[in-house]
Amino acid sequence: METEAFQLGKIKMYVSEDHRFGTDAFLLAYYAGIRSTSVVCDLCTGCGIIPLIFCKNAKPQLIYAVDIQEEAVALLQKTVDENGLQNLVQPITADLRSLSQNVIAYESVDIVTANPPYMTGGSGFTKESEAQAIARHELMCSIDDVCAAAAKLLKYGGYLKMCHRPERLSDVINAMRSHNIEPKSITFVFNSINDRPWLFLVSGKKGAAPGMIVEKPMILRNDDKSYTEEYSKIYE
For residues 183, 188, 189, 194, the Cα torsion angle rounded to the nearest 10 degrees is 170
Among 48, 44, 43, 42, CA closest to 15 = 48
CA dist., res. 19 & res. 120, Å (int): 19
pTM: 0.93
- Could you give the count of Cα atoms lying within 13 Å of 15 in the half-sphere of its Cβ? 17
Cα–Cα distance list, 199 to 46, 118, 136, 169 (Å): 19, 10, 15, 10
What is the residue range of 28's domain?
3-235
Q: Which 8-state DSSP code applies to residue 123? A: S
Number of domains in the chain: 1
Residue 134's CATH number: 3.40.50.150
Per-residue pLDDT tens, the chain, 236 aa: give them. Answer: 678 888 888 999 999 887 788 999 999 999 999 999 999 999 999 999 999 999 988 789 999 999 999 999 999 999 999 999 999 999 999 999 999 999 999 999 999 999 998 878 655 555 567 767 666 666 778 999 999 999 999 999 999 999 999 999 999 999 999 999 999 999 999 999 999 999 999 999 999 999 999 999 999 999 999 999 998 888 77
